[in-house]
Structure 1
Amino acid sequence: MDRSLVRYATKRIMQIPPLLLGISILTFLIFYLSPVNPTVAYLGLVTVQKMSPEDLDRVEEQLGLNQPAHVRYIGWLERIAHGDWGYSHIKKRPVLDVIMERFPATLLLTITGYSLSALLGMMLGVISSVRAGSRIDSILNGLNYIIYSTPTFLLALLAMLVFSVWLGWLPSSRMLSVNAPTSSWLLMQDRIHHLILPASVLAVGHMAVFYTYIRSSIIEAMQEDYIITARAKGLNEVEVVLGHAIRNSLLPFITQMGLSVPLLIGGSVVVESIFAWPGIGKLTYDAALRADYMLLMGITLFSSLLVILGNLLADMACALTDPRVRYD
């Protein structure tokens, strides 16, 4: 591996702790300034109204809400450094345990949706760029604009209506059937059956971004001198596109894949909530409804770490894909 790439990777990894520190400060301030009282969310408004001021002070002391903001933040940060991400008063469990329990479901959904969106976006983008200006290109562009402007929640509801309610082909919610089979093979089939609809909605919702980037990159590449040289050497159009144009168009495509990680994580909140998929997105929605601030802060920090790592991997992939890329 190139030493410059190793130095760049090391430099980026060293930037992760201060970046997470800044994110943790913003995260804490957002939830600290929230108008919702955590005590009310924890006990309920009726219970709080019936409590005496002394009892309410004791509860706030137990929750650590009577301390100054900087003391609460430093204490929270010290506990995270020691592996204690706090305690969810709604789930009655440690925050990190709750997140890690839900993470595999979100990982399965996002990787499947991410792979499908990248694959479909690249395939359709190549077809559209090769046939630029044709009827096929116009149709694909029109569909792309419609998909891009349609909210994810609307796509999810339409897909559920068509494929679950009208046609009855796919289940409308959950990760497994209520009467899930005990056999490992049948259990995997049941999980895939439940995965198809939410993963497809997540993929279609983000496919338009990949389609736009790969189409514009290939159209631009087809005007370059090396394409003219390849054609002059007698290569057919398939060899020119696959061997030269696509290869030199991968750099912005890979970069966009890294930038799309936060969009996928954000989209998974909507998709998981609609399809009752037991992942981090659904957990975020439930925690927001119950004002479980400690759990929400842990999810935000954990998601931020995933976004940072996703962008780092995208940069590494760019350098490995295109030898012209060098980092100082």
Structure 2
Amino acid sequence: MSMNQKTDSWETEVNVDVRKDQAFKSLITDKDILSALLGGVVPEFKGLRKEKIFECLPLEADGRTVIGRNVEHPSPANGPIYLDSVFDVKSPIEGNMSLIVAIEAQGPRMDGQALWNRELYYSSRLIADQGALFRTKNELYHNLRKTVVIWVKLSPGAKESNTIVRDYRVRCCTDRPDMVWESPLDKTEIFEVNVGAYGDSVSEPVLGMRNTLFSSKIDDAEKVKELMKNYDIDVSDTVIEEAKRMGALAEEIELVREEGREEGRSCRDAELVEFYTAEILKRSDETGRSVEDILPETIVPPELLDAIRKRLSDIQKR
């Protein structure tokens, strides 16, 4: 694979990510969509009617758009982080401080440990950056707010699809084997919402809602009807357009990912061809036998045999 091919693939991913971010930001500020996500994922909102959740959301004058906060978190020491959407949300539990809720749409370029570390880092920054809001550390310590970070993974692996993963770090304390109590260090929650396909069997309504919303398998009118009937979600034409864009991007993300797999396979195969070619030439030099005699005795992957034979022929012609 050439450097130009690598650059083209990377630029395609970046382009998909930029369009994904723009569409998702427009989509998630709709009060019906955001309230359904909060009610399906965040413990404080679980089981609440959407009207009750609406009361916790800061709304624009149109009564539908949720007001977000600054999505850039600068830090002189650690540099900025940029989030898709961040909201100040009242807690429905009387006496509790409001929550800081950040929601990210995850594209194709990060998996496994790197993604978990990114989730942890963003969550930690949302906590630490609250220090800029107070004059003294004492004020900060008395007013530190809980943060919730939700990662909506548009194109997860097959095993992850239609799941909600909740991070449960530091949920209990103990100072001896028979003494366990709830931890007071409950200032952060991290969730992964793994989108699946329309019609998939799901364990949580919020997953079915997401799959329906992003699906390209049903037309707009049917989608509006199904969202209202099955999930009590009233969506506008704008939301449907953005959702359609998100669904198309999810499919494009999978195509980019598959192209990456193909590039990876091609790169691996080329490396193996070079390895076996070098081994055969080395044995030929050591034994004085021809490469034509040595090749049939060498155990190589059958699908690479023609490529190895051609590579040997090209070298011998020099």
Decide which structure has greater strand share. 2
Return the index of the structure with the highest Cα Rg.
2
Decide which structure has greater helix share. 1
Q: Structure 1-normalised TM-score?
A: 0.27
